[in-house]
Amino acid sequence: MSDPTMPTWIAFDAQHCPPRAWRMAGSTPRGEAIQVDTVEDARTLIPGADLVMAGAPDGEAHAVPAKPATLAVTKDPAAAVWRVASLSQTRPFGRMEGAACHIDGFLSLNKDWDGVICLPGFQATHWALISAEEVVSFASFATAPMVQALCPVPYLDQAPNAEALANAAQDVLSQPETLALRLAETRAKWAAGALDAHGARSESWGAALGAELAASRAYWLGQNLAVIGPKPLAAPYLAALRAQYVPVTETDETRMLLTGLARAYARRPQP
C-alpha cells in the first residue's frame, strides 16, 4: 500500500503502444498502468499534479557518452509537465528517449553493472554499451516496425514458437542478405495455407532478428547482457539470443521504467 503522505505525481510513458500512465506516490505506483492517448489525458489522472515523461522527439538531448542518472529534467512552461532529456549519437545517428529512463532504473538497482542492455521498443530497439554508469554508445534498429509491416498476421498476438523463430533467425544470421527473401517466403507460405498464423509470426520475427543480430554482433557476442522491454517485444529477443547460447538477464520492464522516472522526478529543479 502506498503512503498517503508521499507526494503524488504522474508517470507517463509515451513510447509504449498504446501510451500508458501511472498515478504515483513517491516512488510507488498507486495501481496498474492506465491506457491514455495523450499527455493531456494523462494529466487528468491527478488534476494539478506534476507529470514526468521520458524524452520527446524535439526535446533536449545529451550526446553520448553520458550518464542516464544525470539527464536534465526540464519543465514545459505552459504546464506541470517535466521531460527527461534524451540521449543522442552522431554516428550512427540516433536518439534514445524513453529507453534512457529504463537504463537509469536498471543501473540504480544493479550497482557497478557493466555490459550491454538490449531495449526492444515499439518504434526502435536500442543496444546500449554501458561502462562506469555511462551509455558509451548505442545502436538502434527499426525491427518491430518492420515485422509489424511485413508479417502477414498480427505481430504481437502471442509469443512466437521458439524453435521456428530460432531456425529462421539462424538462416538470416548466417546470410543477412537473404532477409527479404525469407520474409517473402513466409508471406507466400501463409497465403498458400502452408503455414499457420503462429508459424508465420514466429518466422517473421526470426528472420528480422537474424538480420538485427548479424548487425549488432559486437554488442552481444561475449558481453554481459540484459534485456529490458515489454513482454510481447522482449520474448522474441530472448528466444533469439538464447538460441545463440547467449546468457541473458531478463528484467521487469515496468519496474525499470518507473524507477527511472521516479529518480527523474526526485531530481527535477525546485523553485
**Percent of the chain at pLDDT exceeding 70:** 98
Query: For residue 1, what pLDDT is reported?
Result: 45
Round to whole Å and give the CA distance between 37 and 35: 7
| Grid coordinates given for 216 | 549488432
Residue pair 128/67 in contact by the 8 Å Cβ criterion? no
In this structure, CATH architecture of domain 141-250 = 2-Layer Sandwich (3.30)
Q: What is the pLDDT of residues 59-114, one digit of tens each?
A: 889 999 999 999 999 998 878 999 999 999 999 999 998 899 999 999 999 999 99
Per-residue confidence (pLDDT) for residue 4, from 0 to 100: 58
Residues 219-236: tens digit of each pLDDT: 999 999 999 999 999 999
pLDDT over 90 at 244, yes or no: yes
Going by their DSSP bridges, the two strands 115-119 and 225-227 should be labelled as: parallel
Q: Is the peptide bond before 247 cis (omega within 30 degrees of 0)?
A: no
Residue 5: per-residue pLDDT: 63
pLDDT in tens, 179-222: 999 999 999 999 999 999 999 999 999 999 999 999 999 999 99
Q: Which amino acid is at 213?
A: L
Kindly state the average pLDDT of the residues 237-247.
96
Predicted TM-score of the model (pTM): 0.94
* Total Cβ atoms within 10 A of residue 179: 20
Domain spans of the chain?
8-110+253-267, 141-250
Cα radius of gyration (the chain): 19
